[in-house]
Amino acid sequence: MLTPTDDYHRLYDDFRWPVPARFNIAEACCDRHADGGGRLALIDVDEGGAAARHSFDELARWSRRFANVLRADGLQRGERVAVFLSQSVELPIVHLAAFRSGLVSVPLFMLFGEDALAFRLANSGARAIVTDAAGAAKIAPLRDRLPELAQVYVVADALPAGTRAFWQAIDAADETFDNVPTGPDDPAIIIYTSGTTGNPKGALHAHRVLLGHLPCVEMVHDFFPRPGDVYWTPADWAWIGGLFDALFPAWYHGVPIVAHRARKFEPRAAMQLMADYAVRNVFLPPTALKLMRQADVRHDGVALRSILSGGESLGAELLDWVRATFGVDAHEIYGQTECNLVVGNNARLFPIRPGSMGRAIPGFDVRVVDPRGKVLPDGQHGIIGVRAPNPCMMLEYWRNPEATAAKYGGDFLLTGDLGVRDADGYFWYVSREDDVITSAGYRIGPSEIEHTLLRHPAVALAAVVGIPDPVRTEAIKAWIVLRPQFSPSADLAREIQDFVKEKLAAHEYPRHVAFTDTLPMTATGKVLRRELRGRG
């Protein structure tokens, strides 16, 4: 979408969105590269280090076959297919099959526990899910609570009762499939994001969401793609960052991507992976970069061309370390699930100012506004807003018209982040307008954690806040009022932490637990989380 240049203003002012009348992510990211030539799409590295290489031809064939499986099993246009898998070849096969069928995919994080899964599956009304053996074990006890979930496909040798073998179903299916004609505004994917009150919200995106990500990916990766580019990110492909900052933009441009299912991020293993597979372009969240700096990693075989990072401010020290270690600048970006990649950096176009998120990406009118959408003068703090419409913006919050309406003020989508724009057009993050916690690149709403804590038999009241953390930016802290028959102890704190891990997700458990006799509240009974944050 972008023509290489050193002139940011020309790049921004001359940009126009090339959105066609018909658009389908599967066609754009797979079919047009599947010409029978065996073009490399994916290097799938398992936990043991063995790598399997897959072409766009194979992905096209397998995803068409699985589209036929879904159709034969009764799924109809507009229905939802959940994808409960880690980085692997199977994950994009399911998404591509859904896109070409006119279905809506629903990515789910493999670390989700039963409560997190049950809500998202029920709320989305998923008719089918694809998972592995570990995921199937989590789904099994939920089936009675999910009457709309008709099919469970499992990537495993031993099948649990009531499930189907994913690859056997593919092998038995016809590979001829005519894609359902879709326009750019037709629904494609629901990605759930946490808020501060109530249950998580599903951001429903159209096929055009891929087009909306391309200007930023191209700019921040120094006019991606270039010959020899290979992409990798440790970010999970269950989130908008892994899917649309990395996987699908890479494939739109025909660039191979590395998939690797690491149990946790390990700096030296990451360096070795990048060296082994000649990775040139990475999306590394700030927490990953901080862990790499902490481990003081070096590897002569790593030759990166571009680094995208975002979710938290990098700061001058980390930017300097990246430049000294990799020989390139880390280009910070800004966005959110509802409207992603709207601000970013490129040192060729303008100087990087440490602490700034960068400037508006071509195609996006980003301003600092008041709650009604009135544009504020440069230098004045307000809400970071993105003018509607644009291709990256969600269609709506799934089955939540009230939250959808509240997300907009005037002509702008309101991000909920407070910031300021300086006279040169650089954006600076100030704080969240609400109580969302930013931890290790994840945005986490306290409400869902608090609801889970209250299910523990010892907990009478609970409030969750984020506290400063040198690596994660924020760590989750739970303030707990116990029921009368329970007494505070380190063992009880660990038991409560494990309870949240099991029920919700490993990245959402409180790393810190504090017992208290009372919680600060307003006259109407709302917890004053700001006061709790002040306690540390």
Q: How far apart are the C-alpha atoms of 4 and 223, rounded to whole Å?
A: 6
Q: Global pTM?
A: 0.87
Structural contact between residues 110 and 85, judged by C-beta atoms closer than 8 angstroms:
yes
Report helix, strand or coil for 502. Answer: helix
Pick the CATH number of 437-535 from 3.60.21.10, 3.40.50.12780, 3.40.50.150, 3.30.300.30: 3.30.300.30
Report helix, strand or coil for 180. Answer: coil
Report helix, strand or coil for 504. Answer: coil
The dotted CATH code for 51-207 is: 3.40.50.980
Burial class of residue 35, CB neighbours in 10 A (0-12, 13-18, 19+): exposed
**How close are the terminal C-alpha atoms of the chain, in Å?**
46
Q: How far apart are the C-alpha atoms of 393 and 209, rounded to whole Å?
A: 7
Please tell me the total number of residues recorded for the chain in this structure: 536
* Cα atoms in the Cβ-side hemisphere of radius 13 Å centred on 246: 32
Q: How far apart are the C-alpha atoms of 501 and 496, rounded to whole Å?
A: 9
Structural contact between residues 400 and 193, judged by C-beta atoms closer than 8 angstroms:
no
For residue 246, the 8-state DSSP code is I
**What is the pLDDT tens value at each position of the chain, 536 positions in all?**
999 999 999 999 999 999 999 999 999 999 999 999 999 999 999 988 999 999 999 999 999 999 999 999 999 999 999 999 999 999 999 999 999 999 999 999 999 999 999 999 999 999 999 999 999 999 999 999 999 999 999 999 999 999 999 999 999 999 999 999 999 999 999 999 875 556 899 999 999 999 999 999 999 999 999 999 999 999 999 999 999 999 999 999 999 999 998 888 899 999 999 999 999 999 998 888 988 988 889 999 999 999 999 977 788 888 999 999 999 999 999 999 999 999 999 999 999 999 899 999 999 999 999 999 999 999 999 999 999 999 999 999 999 999 999 999 999 999 999 899 999 999 998 766 667 788 887 878 787 788 789 889 999 888 899 999 988 889 999 999 998 999 999 999 999 999 999 998 888 999 999 999 988 875 545 578 878 888 87
Instruction: Tell me where in the chain the CATH 3.30.300.30 domain(s) lie.
Output: 437-535
Q: How far apart are the C-alpha atoms of 60 and 63, rounded to whole Å?
A: 5
Q: How far apart are the C-alpha atoms of 345 and 109, rounded to whole Å?
A: 29
| Spatial CA neighbour of 378 closest among 431, 422, 424 | 422
pLDDT score recorded for residue 148? 98
